[in-house]
Amino acid sequence: MKKSINILSKEVINQIAAGEVIQRPASIVKELIENSIDAGAKKIEIIIKDAGKTLVQLIDDGIGMNNQDATICFQKHTTSKIKNITDVMSISTMGFRGEALASISSIAKVELKTKREEDEIGTLIHIENSIMNKNLKVAISKGTSIAVKNLFFNVPARKKFLKSDRIEMKHILEVFMQLSIANCEIEFKLNDDSKTLHHLKATNLKQRIIQLFGSRYNQKILPIKEETSIVSINGFIGNPFDAKKTRGEQFLYVNNRFIKSSYLNHAVKNSMHNIITNDQHPSYFIFLSVDPKTIDVNIHPNKTEIKFEDEKSIYQILKSACKKPIGMYNITPSLDFTTEESFEIPIDIQKSTPKEPKIKINSDFNPFLEKNEQLNKKTPVSLNLDSKYPEINIINCMNIDENYGLFTFIANNSISCNLIDKKRALERIIYETTLTQLSSKKFLSQNLLYPIKLDVNISDLQIIENYRDKIEKVGYKFRTTSDKNLEITSTPTGIENNDIQDLFECFIEELKTGNINIEQNIIDKTIIKITHNKYRKSKSINSVDNKELKSIITKLLNCKTPFIGINGQPCVINIEPNIIFNN
């Protein structure tokens, strides 16, 4: 077949280029909001119809454009934001390629209304298929309104790729959240098919989070702040006790630009090491600010990745910044953030409870403190989670059922009444005893009768080899076979054969992050496995009598982290009768 070379028409070139910038309605929402922010808007209203497929309209009160600018802003490479390449390097505005409006107008029908403060009269422009077919004077107030209608009306092939309204709306909401969190001093309104989904008044960051995610976030988030010469950090992290199994609210910004970074996500997660489990995801709203010269932002408008010059230090600083408030604010877990999923109440008990009693919980209660200190609730108490009870005097304890027990004890002259989850308590005790035994005697290793072959690919094999000494220190021994397989020949005592594949997969994931705490995490994962194995073999916790329960509690209170189970959920909940019964 004879091939012939065609020169593409300008129209087609524009449409192809538009595909890079505008993939879906959410991309339009993002570009238009960013333009409004750059135009100094204090109030931005977004109107969506049919998940943006029929209409995305944005109305702002920013500086607006005069007639001449309004006429040319839809042309390619028109921007008021950069003039030369040095500007590109130092740019602080949101979008800066002068491409968004040109792209949008090549794949949708656009109506622009705009007026500057100083102009008498505003401009109305209609543009379709990149062709302007209306340019009129209109009387409007200062600011800009851009309505983008019938997205991809002229590119049916792309229109076909749009997802269901529900999914497209989810993308719009994501963009809306990313930008409204980073710009809390701006008022935002989001209307979807004439329903107001969000109306966020100008406020501070904490209140913006609460506006978006509900007032329960008031207690759920802890502030973080750190200033170093490499990076300044501020924002909020979710209380680790609320961490979810599904990736929830994770917002990370660098110089106020939303980014995704699995590496830094790992830093936050790692700061909650021992409090949350591997499959739980912390929430966070974190703003890093760094010298723009030390980062490499991929300037493609849809890319959210970033490279740091000094990634490892930023990892460490972020991790320690997140660690601080966890030690400071999380004292004993209190009922309000444990009832839902972590501390399951057996169904039959739930049923027989006619009405939820009104319980006032002192979430600041801290059995470590003197009574007079308890009263001073406003100041966050600095508490070393690692400290032990100075002197434990258990007054009373009893089994409630197979899973739970109640106990009271005296610490520092005040009586504390507590609910205990026996299984989690026992696991915590086994975990800590194993940890001390192993760290004092070093890791004991057992040779396997039959080496175990593991299924790993060549690049993973290389990773494992690179960290051989760290893994062997913990008591594993392995070799690479001639046919490039991994063969485990020894494991730490307490690890069982069928744990190995799972453990090594975890190690590889861990090693891939390049995280500095690798050794600690390998030890931890190993000990958690040993704990589960020992727990399985121990006497059933369901049948302990009150005397045995007392010994469990004593051991638990002597642990370094007595209140938190090894999976990150509470094992003791403090219930303060004084407060509950309003005495």
User: Which 103-122 positions form the footprint of ligand ADP (CB under 6 A)?
Assistant: none
List of long-range contacts for 181-187, beta carbons under 8 Å, 24+ apart: 181/205, 181/208, 181/209, 181/212, 181/251, 181/285, 182/253, 182/256, 182/257, 182/258, 182/287, 183/37, 184/208, 185/42, 186/37, 186/41, 186/42, 186/43, 186/44, 187/42, 187/43, 187/44
CA separation for the pair 87, 99 (Å, rounded):
16
Size of the site for ligand ADP (CB under 6 A): 23
Q: Establish if 192 lies at the interface with ligand ADP (CB under 6 A).
A: no
User: Which 24-63 positions form the footprint of ligand ADP (CB under 6 A)?
Assistant: 31, 35-36, 39, 60, 62-63
Residue closer to ligand ADP, measured from CB, 97 or 532: 97
Burial of residue 65 (CB within 10 Å: 0-12, 13-18, 19+) is buried
What is the smallest separation between the CB atom of 100 and Mg ion, expressed in angstroms? 4
Q: Establish if 97 lies at the interface with ligand ADP (CB under 6 A).
A: yes
The first and second tokens of residue 278, run together, are: 């591997």
Residue closer to ligand ADP, measured from CB, 70 or 321: 70
| Torsion sign (Cα): 183, 189, 192, 193 | negative
Size of the site for Mg ion (CB under 5 A): 3
Q: Which residue has the tokens 């035994």?
A: 437
CA separation for the pair 227, 518 (Å, rounded):
26
> Using N-to-C axis directions, what is the helix angle for 500-512 and 518-537, rounded to 10°?
160
Among 73-81, 133-141, 165-173, 412-420, which window interacts with ligand ADP (CB under 6 A)?
Answer: 73-81
Residue closer to Mg ion, measured from CB, 100 or 420: 100
Q: Which does 79 bind (CB under 5 to 8 A by kind): Mg ion, ligand ADP, none?
A: ligand ADP
Q: Establish if 79 lies at the interface with ligand ADP (CB under 6 A).
A: yes
What is the smallest separation between the CB atom of 118 and Mg ion, expressed in angstroms? 23
The first and second tokens of residue 532, run together, are: 């589960």
What is the smallest separation between the CB atom of 102 and Mg ion, expressed in angstroms? 10
332, 367 in Cβ contact below 8 A? yes
Residue closer to Mg ion, measured from CB, 35 or 178: 35
CA separation for the pair 414, 574 (Å, rounded):
13
Among 77-85, 147-155, 217-225, 525-533, which window interacts with ligand ADP (CB under 6 A)?
Answer: 77-85
CA separation for the pair 119, 134 (Å, rounded):
20
Residue closer to Mg ion, measured from CB, 34 or 432: 34
Interacting residue with Mg ion among 15, 35, 123, 567 (CB under 5 A) = 35
User: Which 81-120 positions form the footprint of Mg ion (CB under 5 A)?
Assistant: 95, 100
Chain contacts with Mg ion (rule: CB under 5 A): 35, 95, 100
Where on the chain is the footprint of ligand ADP (CB under 6 A)? Answer: 31, 35-36, 39, 60, 62-65, 73, 78-81, 95-102, 144
